[in-house]
């Protein structure tokens, strides 16, 4: 791990994060890569946040750099019966991008899913317009499973979604562990 990422940590989402996360979700540079495109109201966010805090099929973390909140990571559609989950993350603070924070977050989530939860599969969906994140996931062993053609509407245009997954055996090969 580089010195720059030595101060990266993920902590569970807490009630005091409510306003910050809503502000992040409404940033144009974050919303550009989310499924939704509209401004998120206080009421809509309150419902979402309540679900994020209580739904056992979801788990959220605040990404911190040097103790300052800089992004959000989550697992969703967690299925103990199927031993799989989906995940996503974003860095809301532009000044931390390119400093290894995303890589640290990816390694944290992979270890959590495969080592702590003991799951067999981790999935994600990425807008095809977010090629950098697709490549990052591939560096960690994720395979492209397919494309959901014209799956979401962004800025009035239909956009493809790339579906990806990483299996336990692929995680265990540890081809990515050299940069851990």
* Whether pLDDT at 97 is above 90: no
Per-residue pLDDT band at 180 (split at 50, 70, 90): very low
pLDDT digits (tens, 9 = 90+) for 102-130: 999 999 999 999 999 999 999 999 999 99
For residue 171, which of 143, 140, 145, 135 has the smallest C-alpha distance?
Answer: 140
In order, the DSSP letters of 121-140 are EEEEEEETT-HHHHHHHHHT
* Whether pLDDT at 28 is above 50: yes
Q: Give the whole-number percent of the chain exceeding pLDDT 70.
A: 93
pLDDT digits (tens, 9 = 90+) for 124-145: 999 999 999 999 999 999 999 9
Give Cβ neighbours of residue 15 (< 8 Å, ≥ 6 apart): 53
For residue 180, which of 119, 108, 129 has the smallest C-alpha distance?
Answer: 108
* Whether pLDDT at 5 is above 60: no
* Whether pLDDT at 6 is above 70: no
Name the pairing type of β-strands 84-91 and 121-127.
parallel
Domain architecture of the chain: domains with CATH: 3-179 (3.40.630.30)
Name the pairing type of β-strands 157-167 and 121-127.
antiparallel
For residue 90, which of 122, 63, 127 has the smallest C-alpha distance?
Answer: 63
CA dist 14 and 49 (Å) reads: 10
CA dist 152 and 139 (Å) reads: 25
Mean pLDDT (the chain) is: 92
For the entire predicted model, the pTM comes to: 0.91
Instruction: Note whether 63 and 91 are within 8 A (CB).
Output: yes
* Whether pLDDT at 178 is above 90: no
């Amino acid at each position: 791990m580089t010195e720059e990422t030595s101060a990266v940590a993920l902590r569970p989402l807490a009630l005091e994060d409510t306003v910050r996360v809503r502000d992040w979700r409404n940033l144009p540079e974050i919303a550009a890569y989310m499924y939704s495109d509209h401004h998120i109201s206080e009421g809509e966010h309150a419902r979402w946040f309540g679900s994020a805090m209580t739904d056992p099929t979801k788990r959220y973390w605040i990404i911190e750099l040097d103790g300052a909140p800089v992004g959000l990571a989550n697992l969703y559609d967690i299925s103990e019966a199927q031993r799989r989950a989906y995940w996503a993350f974003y860095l809301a603070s532009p000044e931390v991008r390119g400093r290894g924070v995303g890589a640290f977050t990816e390694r944290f989530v992979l270890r959590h899913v495969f080592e702590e939860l003991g799951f067999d599969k981790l999935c994600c969906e990425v807008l095809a317009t977010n090629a950098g994140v697709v490549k990052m996931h591939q560096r960690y062993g994720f395979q492209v499973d397919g494309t959901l053609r014209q799956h979401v509407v962004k800025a009035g245009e239909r956009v493809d979604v790339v579906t990806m997954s990483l299996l336990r055996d692929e995680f265990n090969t540890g081809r990515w562990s050299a940069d851990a």
